[in-house]
Amino acid sequence: MSPLSPKKLNILWTNDNPVTAELMVFMYAITAKERKLWDEITLIIWGATVKLVKENEDIQALVQKAQRSGVHVSACRACADELDAVKTLEALHVEVIYWGAPLTEILQNNGKLITI
């Protein structure tokens, strides 16, 4: 499905507060996917959240729970390289790619994007 599909939600997650992660990011993504509110949800891990995922086992468990519910989880390759987190992310089966161009496409074409 194209990142611009009207039934596709992209969540750009940059806030590394664990409470926000648990009670907004993952709560919404998992619930929305399980209730079929969106056909596809992609959670984009970017910036400080890369470090949070790398270092916090509770957050890692939430990443896996989101994946089991059908949320696609992807991370910024530049951030992961800078924070030495690629191996951890890949071990969690998180897609690790350069997100600059895809994010620009979403924004330029009015794709559905929540930023947190």
When pLDDT is cut at 50, 70 and 90, the band that residue 112 belongs to is very high
Strands 8-13, 40-45: pairing is parallel
- Reported as a single tens digit per residue, the pLDDT across 2-52 is 556 679 999 999 999 999 999 999 999 999 999 999 999 999 999 999 999
The first and second tokens of residue 99, run together, are 């997100």
For 34-45, letters b (16+ CB in 10 Å) and e give eeeebebbbbbb
Nearest of 76, 85, 68 to residue 29 by alpha carbon:
68
Residue 1 has pLDDT above 70, yes or no: no
- pTM of the prediction? 0.94
Question: What's the rounded Cα separation, in Å, for the pair 39 and 43?
Answer: 14
What pLDDT is stored for residue 4 in this prediction?
60
Nearest of 75, 11, 15 to residue 48 by alpha carbon:
15
- pLDDT above 70 covers a percentage of the chain that reads 96
Rounded to an integer, the average pLDDT of 85-91 is 98
